[in-house]
Structure formats: structure tokens, C-alpha cells
């Protein structure tokens, strides 16, 4: 397929009729660059081609967008029309395939409702097919058009030739879907699926013929053929089991690989993670201590409340002590004795006590100072209790102080470690990685699973081997009997012939798929090395297509390296794979299929862009780039001119009302419209 | 793209003429036709081939 011309009418950003003539001389100029800033309609052109070829409104980059949200008819054209007046829109694509010319037109009708809602529908589609001899055929039936397009570029293959450059790196992801996608592309492009279908059909036919044979007189041969059929069924089931186990192994290996990557990352920050773990432990321990200290402080609170009145207590105690020292408590002479002396007016020494004398006054004063017995006992008891309290106050003060100091220290420790933890968490980068121990445990469990699976696979393979031996034995016996049985026997002959054809196709299938995997590896590796920059070339060595069609990238020591390459290198690797497939499918030197790339260089470094610009036009029949100013500048234009392959240049220019005009520019004058992207040195 | 890969054809041509022809026919049919059509068509073709072969053997013996 070669794209010749694209004509747009009131489609997306393009008001009125806008055209692009693609450069399509495979030997000479085969590169077209459509250049535009973001929002100018590069993806609109990509969408127009997808819409025209397949009637698709959505393209791969419209993830999670509902089809009804995509409006194709130009809004300005709708607004310029009378209210509720339908507006025509179409995309017309001229292309050729194997010297047959095609013009495919898909028309739309759009309208703004009275509420301003934009509605649209496909009004017609037609394909003009013109043979080299000049015979033309107009096809208007949808199904027929789809069949015709399928022959040119099957829907299943379109994403390999018409793609978003930044998303094509998905092919290098080893997921189940990607493996299926690559396997399906290889099988589609190289007709392996037709081979598989023919083997399946013949297997069923063999069974039918052998069932007929059961009813014949050649019972022994029939028995052998039945046994053979039974063994082959078992072999087929075994093959499927092995394939399922391979799938499981592959998943487990992916998981192991991802855990290894995680562990590697972990190793880089391992010391920090360990320190974070230590800090967390310290904080946890300190928090426990803090909680226990708080508990102690609560119980201490009951005792230490006494400290609030400690000064008063001390004062009272001192006073009581003084009183005691002075003999005021307990008094030297009881109050009752003094009162008796005063009433008897006789001292205890027998002397008469005369009122008004100094002695009498002294006794009277003594009486006043002396309290009654109850008070004395209470004062004595108070003195005794306060003595105890006085002694314990120091203990309470000491223990409270000690608790407060411990609490403050613990709190400070926590604050300090929390601060350290914040710093270290920032250094780790806020990663939510689980504990390294968990990762290692997970890895061990995956390894154990892998060992189990490998053992199971070995067991199955050994069974297959035994079955294959049995099969060979039965085939030998069958051959012997066949010689005995007359070849004129038609029923036997049919079964034998069908089996021979089936076996031949099966053998060819196995040989062919093995060969193409090796050839794709070889071709893709050759191109990959050419496209890489010097550093990548030094490091990366070979693209390998494994038995399950997953890709592996081997470094110069032949060790797997795919997990470590950049997104740009993945893009280069995917392009190499597609180019290898195209080259392998090509009957002549160049596979007649365009490489139509939206955002071709977005992720590529300068050297990768340069290499791609030099190499890709040589290996593909046509290269169409939809590039923006950040990826295509004067430097890229200079390299592309130097390749001698650049034929057409268009810029997408904003015009009044937000529409876009497609303006052809002479390649020689491209520099005027491009930014300087020269790389120093 | 609808053509059969040359490498497959070359490999099939290494078999005896009868096997090779039938295998290529099976392959060609499988490109665009459904399985039941392929089976029925091959059934008829193999019957014809075997019948023809039987006739040829008989005439050689005669």
C-alpha cells in the first residue's frame, strides 16, 4: 500500500477542502512531513486516514473517550450554515496496492440542532478500484469495501504501520497481550495463521477418514490408526498443558523480574531504608515509654498534690517542732495541776502562793499557755504526721522531678527522631515500597513457584517424549501394515493420504515459525544497532524473539537487558521489529506499506532521531511524519534533506475562526518555518 | 498479503508431488475460506486423488 493523496472537506479542524499529496517514490523521495504546533490538527489527519479506511471515529490514543464525544464535522462550517441545515464533510484517500489504484471516499453529514447540539452520521462510502489495464470498478457495499481494504491492510495490522510514535514502544512490554499482539502480527503478515488453519482442518479430516476405516475389514490397521489418533490427542492436550505452564512460567518470571527491579532499587536506598526502620523502631519504643511515664505521672499526681501545700506544711511542722523543743507540747505540767495549784494557792513544793505575787502571775501565764489534753494530743499527733510528710516530700519531689525529666527527654527524643524520619523519607522519595523483607519473601515464593512449574513442565515434556516414541512405534507398525494392505483400497488410501498431507503441513509449520523467529531477530537486531546511538550500540547487542513471541533484548554479554532500557530505546526497538516484519513479508526488496507516524520523535534523543531519519526511508516504501515544533526543527530538517528522501513538506497553519489550513511548502524553504534545534558539538 | 509466503511454498514443494499439491491446496483454501469448507473441499479432492491413483495402479497391473 502506498498513500498518494488525502483530501479533507470540513473534517475536524479543516474548513473547506484541504489536500495533501504524499511523496511516494520508493526509490527517490518517499518522505512527507506534516508539521504543526499542538492543536493544529496533526492527529486530525491521522484520524482522517483511520476514519476513511476503517470508518473508525476513535483512534488508539482516545483512551476512555466515548465514541459519541468525537465530532468529525468542522464546527465552523456548521456554524456558518443556516440553523438545522446539513453540512457535507468527507475524507477521500487515494492509494495504490500491487499496482491497483484505489480512491476511497467516506462522507458525513453534520448539523447543529436548535439547541446547538452537534449531530452527525456517515452518509455514504464508496471505493473506486482501478486495475493496471484500466478496468475500473465502483464498490458501494460496506462489506465489499471492508473485504477490499482487508486485502490491502488488515485491521489487525494497521497499528503496525499507522501509529503514534510515543505509544509504539508498547510492543516491547512482555505482557500476555503484547506477546499475543506480536504473535498475531507475525502470523498475519507471514500467513502462518493460514498454515495453522490448514493443519487444523486436515487433522479433522484425518479423523473423519479414520472413522470410516474402522468399519473396514482391515481391523489391525484400523486399530493402529485409532491408537495413533488417541496418542495424537494426548500429544495435543500435552502441548496445550505445556503452553499453559509456559504462560504461567512467563508470568512468574515477569513477577520475579519486577521484584528484582524493586529489590535493586531497594539496594540503592537500602541503608536509608534500614535507618528509617531503625528510627521507626526508636520512635515506637519512645512512644511506649512516653505512655508508661504518663501512666506513672498520673498515679504520682495523687501523691504529689501535697507539694502544692508543702511550704505551709513545712512551716506548721517547724512551728510544732519549736513548740515541742520549748516543751509546749506536750507541756511539762498538765493544765489540771496548774489549776489545782491556783485554787489551793499552794505550790507543789509546799510554799504558799499569794495572789498578786510574781510567782502567782507566772503560774497564771503558764496556765494560759497550757492547752487542754485533747488539743495537746492532737498537736502531738500532727507533729508526728507532719514529720512523716516532711520526710516523704523530698521523695515525692525527687520522683516527680525524675518523671518529668524522663518524660521531657522522651518527648524530645521522639521529636528528634521524627525530624530525622522526615529527612530520610524525603531522601527515599516518598516511595511506598514495602519492606525489603517482604520483597525477598515474595521473591522466594515466586522462585519456589517457578521451580514447581519447571518440574511440572519437565514431567509433561517427558510424557510427551514417551508419547512421541509410542507414536513413532505405531507409525512403523502402520507402515508395515500399509504395505500388506492393498493400496487400491480407497478408504485406507484416503486416511493415509490425508495424514501424510497433515504431517507435511505440520512439519513445515514448525520449521517455518522457528526460522522466521530467527530471521526477525536477525533483521530487527541489524536495524536496531544502526538506529542506536554510540553508547547504546556499545551496550546493546541483539533483539531476540522467544518461542512465545515475547521480545528480549540481549546486551553484549548476551544477558537479558530489556528491563533497563529507556522509553526512546524501546521506541527504536519497536520500530526495528516492525521494519523487520515488513522486510520479511516483502516479496521484493521493499515492503509496500507506509510508515505513518504521529509524534515520531517525541521521546527520541538527537542521535536516535538522526539515525532514524537516515535509515528508515531506506527500508520502508513511504514514510509520513506528523511532527510538532518540539521534535522537528532545523537540525532534523537538515538531516532529512541530506538523506535525499524528503519529498513533501506541509505546515498546518491556523486561520481565522480557529480552523487549520494545510499549506504546501517547498522542502528547500522548510527552514524558514522551523525552529533552531541544532545540537552544539 | 493474501498470497502464501514463498518460504512455506518452497518447503512444501520438497514433498512428493501428490502430498505437496494437496498441502498447497489446503493452504490456499485456508487463507480465505472457513474450516468446514476447507474440510469438504479437501475430502472431495483426496477421494479423487486416491481413486485416480487406484485406477492407475490397476491399469499398470493389467
Q: Closest Cα partner for B25 from B41, B14, B2, B5? A: B41
Domain extent listing, chain A: 1-153+624-681, 192-269+434-515, 274-331+371-428
Whether A48 shows a pLDDT value over 90: the answer reads yes
DSSP-derived pairing of the beta strands A551-555 and A646-654: unpaired
Q: What is the pLDDT of residue A175?
A: 65
User: Which CA distances in Å does A217 have to A221, A486, A675?
Assistant: 9, 12, 86
Closest-CA residue of chain B to A489: B54
Q: What is the pLDDT of residue A184?
A: 76
- Contact partners, residue A634, CB within 8 Å, separation at least 6: A671, A674, A675, A676, A677, A678
C-alpha cell at A174: 512482555
Q: What is the pLDDT of residue A584?
A: 79
Q: What is the pLDDT of residue A176?
A: 66
Distance, CA of A666 to CA of A673 (rounded, Å): 11
Contact A195 B49 (CB under 8 A): no
Contact B26 A208 (CB under 8 A): no
Q: What is the pLDDT of residue A333?
A: 66
Q: What is the pLDDT of residue B1?
A: 39
| Percent of chain A clearing pLDDT 70 (strictly above) | 92
Q: What is the pLDDT of residue A216?
A: 63
pLDDT, mean over chain A = 85
Q: What is the pLDDT of residue A485?
A: 65
Rounded average pLDDT over A411-421: 90
Closest-CA residue of chain A to B47: A494
- CA A257, A258, A263: angle at the middle one, nearest 5? 95
User: Per-residue pLDDT tens for A374-391?
Assistant: 677 788 888 888 888 888
C-alpha cell at A617: 526511508
Of residues A101 and A551, more confidence is placed in: A101
In a domain? residue B1: no
Any idea which of A456-460, A544-548, A556-560 has the lowest mean pLDDT? A544-548
User: Which CA distances in Å does A384 have to A317, A380, A390?
Assistant: 9, 6, 10
Bond into A330 cis (ω within 30) = yes
Any idea which of A48-57, A153-162, A187-196, A583-592 has the lowest mean pLDDT? A583-592
Whether A587 shows a pLDDT value over 60: the answer reads no
Q: What is the pLDDT of residue B2?
A: 45
In a domain? residue B42: yes
Whether A664 shows a pLDDT value over 80: the answer reads yes
Of residues A214 and A53, more confidence is placed in: A53
CB proximity A347 to B under 8 Å: no
Q: Closest Cα partner for A371 from A421, A410, A330? A: A330
In a domain? residue B52: yes
Q: What is the CA radius of gyration of chain B?
A: 14
Between the ranges A45-54, A109-118, A191-200, where is the mean pLDDT highest?
Answer: A45-54
Any idea which of A251-255, A488-492, A599-603, A627-631 has the lowest mean pLDDT? A488-492
Rounded average pLDDT over A60-69: 75
Q: Which superfamily is assigned to A1-153+624-681 in CATH?
A: P-loop containing nucleotide triphosphate hydrolases (3.40.50.300)
| Percent of chain A clearing pLDDT 90 (strictly above) | 30
Which residues of chain A are within 8 Å of residue B29 when distances are taken between CB atoms? 198, 201
Contact A505 B38 (CB under 8 A): no
Whether A361 shows a pLDDT value over 80: the answer reads yes
Rounded average pLDDT over A320-344: 77
Of residues A507 and A223, more confidence is placed in: A507
Q: What is the pLDDT of residue A249?
A: 87
Q: What is the pLDDT of residue A45?
A: 93
Contact A71, A657 (CB under 8 A): no
Confidence of residue A598 (pLDDT cuts 50, 70, 90): confident
Q: Considering CB atoms only, which of A197, A501, A508 is closest to B22?
A: A501
Contact A194 B30 (CB under 8 A): yes
Q: Considering CB atoms only, which of B15, B39, B47 is closest to A494?
A: B47
Contact A191 B3 (CB under 8 A): yes
Residue A425's H or E segment, with its range, is helix A373-428
Q: In what order do the strands lie in the sheet with A87-97?
A: A14-21, A2-11, A87-97, A100-112, A118-130, A136-139
Distance, CA of A418 to CA of A350 (rounded, Å): 87
Q: What is the pLDDT of residue B3?
A: 58
Contact B5 A505 (CB under 8 A): no
Q: What is the pLDDT of residue A215?
A: 65
Confidence of residue B57 (pLDDT cuts 50, 70, 90): low
**Chain A: closest CA distance from residue B36 (Å):** 8
- Contact partners, residue A452, CB within 8 Å, separation at least 6: none
Which of B1, B5, B37 to substitute to test the interface with A, most A CBs within 10 Å?
Answer: B1
* DSSP secondary structure, B11-41, as one string: HHTTS-HHHHHHHHHHHHHHHHS-HHHHHHH
Whether A681 shows a pLDDT value over 50: the answer reads no
Closest-CA residue of chain B to A207: B39
Q: What is the pLDDT of residue A488?
A: 46
Q: What is the pLDDT of residue A226?
A: 82
Q: How many domains does chain B have?
A: 1
> In this structure, which CATH number among 1.10.1740, 1.10.287, 1.10.3470, 3.30.390 belongs to the domain A192-269+434-515?
1.10.287
Between the ranges A153-167, A227-241, A302-316, where is the mean pLDDT highest?
Answer: A227-241
Structural domain boundaries enclosing B10: 6-61
CB proximity A585 to B under 8 Å: yes
User: Per-residue pLDDT tens for A213-222?
Assistant: 766 656 777 7
C-alpha cell at A282: 526508636
Contact B23 A197 (CB under 8 A): no
**Chain A: closest CA distance from residue B53 (Å):** 8
Q: Is A646 helix (H, G, I), strand (E, B) or coil?
A: strand
* DSSP secondary structure, A356-405, as one string: TSHHHHHHHHHHHH---HHHHHHHHHHHHHHHHHHHHHHHHHHHHHHHHH
In a domain? residue B22: yes
Which of B5, B29, B51 to substitute to test the interface with A, most A CBs within 10 Å?
Answer: B5
Q: What is the pLDDT of residue A502?
A: 94
Any idea which of A165-179, A235-249, A492-506 has the lowest mean pLDDT? A165-179
User: Per-residue pLDDT tens for A71-106?
Assistant: 899 989 998 888 888 999 999 999 998 889 999 999
Instruction: Count other Cβ atoms within 10 Å, centred on residue A558.
Output: 10
CB proximity B44 to A under 8 Å: no
Confidence of residue A613 (pLDDT cuts 50, 70, 90): very high
Whether A34 shows a pLDDT value over 50: the answer reads yes
Q: State the complex-level ipTM.
A: 0.93
Contact B54 A490 (CB under 8 A): yes
Amino acid at each position: 500500500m502506498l498513500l498518494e493523496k488525502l483530501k479533507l472537506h470540513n473534517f475536524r479542524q479543516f474548513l473547506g477542502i484541504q489536500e495533501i499529496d504524499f511523496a511516494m517514490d520508493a526509490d527517490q523521495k518517499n518522505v512527507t512531513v506534516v508539521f504543526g504546533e499542538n492543536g493544529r490538527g496533526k492527529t486530525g489527519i491521522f484520524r482522517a486516514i483511520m476514519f476513511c479506511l476503517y470508518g473508525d471515529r476513535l483512534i488508539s490514543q482516545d483512551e476512555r473517550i466515548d465514541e459519541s464525544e468525537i465530532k468529525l464535522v468542522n464546527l465552523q462550517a456548521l456554524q456558518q450554515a443556516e440553523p438545522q441545515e446539513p453540512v457535507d464533510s468527507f475524507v477521500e484517500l487515494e492509494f495504490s496496492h500491487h499496482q491497483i489504484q484505489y480512491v476511497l471516499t467516506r462522507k458525513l453529514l453534520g448539523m447543529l440542532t436548535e439547541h446547538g447540539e452537534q449531530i452527525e452520521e456517515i452518509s455514504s462510502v464508496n471505493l473506486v478500484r482501478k486495475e493496471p489495464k484500466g478496468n475500473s470498478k465502483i464498490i458501494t457495499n460496506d462489506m465489499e469495501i471492508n473485504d477490499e481494504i482487508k486485502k490491502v491492510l488488515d485491521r489487525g495490522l494497521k497499528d503496525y504501520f499507522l501509529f503514534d510514535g510515543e505509544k509504539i514502544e508498547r510492543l516491547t512490554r512482555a505482557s500476555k497481550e503484547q506477546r499475543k499482539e506480536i504473535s498475531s502480527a507475525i502470523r498475519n503478515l507471514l500467513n502462518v495463521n493460514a498454515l495453522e488453519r490448514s493443519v487444523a482442518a486436515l487433522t479433522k479430516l484425518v479423523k473423519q477418514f479414520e472413522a470410516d476405516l474402522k468399519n473396514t475389514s482391515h481391523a489391525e490397521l484400523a486399530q493402529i490408526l485409532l491408537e495413533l489418533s488417541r496418542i495424537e490427542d494426548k500429544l495435543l492436550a500435552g502441548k496445550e498443558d505445556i503452553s499453559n505452564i509456559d504462560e504461567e512460567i512467563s508470568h512468574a518470571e515477569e513477577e520475579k523480574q519486577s521484584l528484582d527491579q524493586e529489590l535493586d532499587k531497594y539496594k540503592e536506598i537500602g541503608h536509608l531504608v534500614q535507618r528509617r526502620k531503625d528510627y521507626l523502631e526508636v520512635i515506637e519504643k519512645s512512644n511506649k515509654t512516653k505512655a508508661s511515664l504518663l501512666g506513672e505521672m498520673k498515679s504520682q499526681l495523687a501523691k504529689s498534690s501535697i507539694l502544692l501545700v508543702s511550704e505551709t506544711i513545712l512551716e506548721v511542722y517547724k512551728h510544732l517542732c519549736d513548740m515541742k523543743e520549748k516543751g509546749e507540747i506536750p507541756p511539762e505540767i498538765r493544765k489540771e495541776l496548774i489549776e489545782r495549784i491556783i485554787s489551793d494557792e499552794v505550790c507543789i513544793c509546799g510554799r504558799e502562793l499569794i495572789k498578786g505575787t510574781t510567782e502567782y502571775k507566772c503560774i497564771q501565764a503558764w496556765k494560759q499557755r497550757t492547752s487542754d489534753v485533747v488539743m495537746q494530743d492532737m498537736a502531738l499527733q500532727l507533729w508526728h504526721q507532719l514529720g512523716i510528710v516532711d520526710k516523704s516530700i523530698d521523695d515525692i519531689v525527687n520522683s516527680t522531678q525524675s518523671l518529668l525529666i524522663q518524660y521531657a527527654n522522651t518527648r524530645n527524643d521522639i521529636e528528634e527522631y521524627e525530624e530525622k524520619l522526615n529527612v530520610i523519607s524525603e531522601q527515599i522519595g516518598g516511595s511506598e515500597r514495602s519492606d525489603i523483607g517482604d520483597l525477598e519473601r515474595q521473591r522466594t515464593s515466586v522462585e519456589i513457584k517457578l521451580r514447581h512449574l519447571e518440574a511440572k513442565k519437565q514431567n509433561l515434556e517427558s510424557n510427551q517424549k514417551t508419547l512421541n516414541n509410542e507414536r513413532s512405534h505405531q507409525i512403523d507398525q502402520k507402515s508395515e501394515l500399509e504395505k500388506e494392505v492393498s493400496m487400491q483400497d480407497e478408504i485406507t488410501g484416503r486416511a493415509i493420504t490425508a495424514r501424510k498431507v497433515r504431517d507435511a503441513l505440520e512439519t513445515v509449520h514448525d520449521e517455518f515459525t522457528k526460522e522466521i523467529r530467527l530471521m526477525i531477530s536477525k533483521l530487527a537486531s541489524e536495524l536496531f544497532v544502526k538506529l542506536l546511538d554510540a553508547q547504546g550500540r556499545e551496550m546493546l547487542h541483539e533483539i531476540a524473539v522467544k518461542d512465545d513471541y515475547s521480545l528480549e533484548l540481549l546486551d553484549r554479554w548476551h544477558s537479558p537487558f530489556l528491563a533497563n532500557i529507556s522509553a526512546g530505546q524501546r521506541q527504536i526497538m519497536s520500530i526495528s521489529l516492525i521494519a523487520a516484519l515488513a522486510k520479511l513479508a516483502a516479496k521484493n526488496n521493499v515492503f509496500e506499506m507506509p510508515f505513518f507516524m504521529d509524534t515520531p520523535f517525541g521521546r527520541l534523543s538527537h542521535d536516535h532521531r538522526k539515525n532514524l531519519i537516515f535509515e528508515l526511508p531506506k527500508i520502508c516504501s513511504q514514510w509520513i511524519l506528523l511532527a510538532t515544533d518540539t521534535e522537528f526543527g532545523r537540525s532534523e530538517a537538515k538531516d532529512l534533506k541530506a538523506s535525499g528522501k524528503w519529498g513533501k513538506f506541509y505546515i498546518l497553519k491556523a486561520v481565522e475562526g480557529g480552523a487549520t489550513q494545510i499549506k504546501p511548502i517547498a522542502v528547500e524553504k522548510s527552514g524558514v518555518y522551523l525552529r533552531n534545534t541544532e545540537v552544539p558539538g | 498479503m493474501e498470497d502464501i509466503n514463498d518460504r512455506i511454498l518452497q518447503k512444501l514443494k520438497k514433498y512428493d508431488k501428490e502430498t505437496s499439491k494437496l498441502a498447497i491446496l489446503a493452504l490456499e483454501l485456508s487463507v480465505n475460506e472457513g474450516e468446514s469448507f476447507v474440510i469438504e473441499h479437501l475430502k472431495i479432492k483426496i477421494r479423487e486423488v486416491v481413486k485416480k491413483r487406484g485406477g492407475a495402479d490397476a491399469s499398470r497391473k493389467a
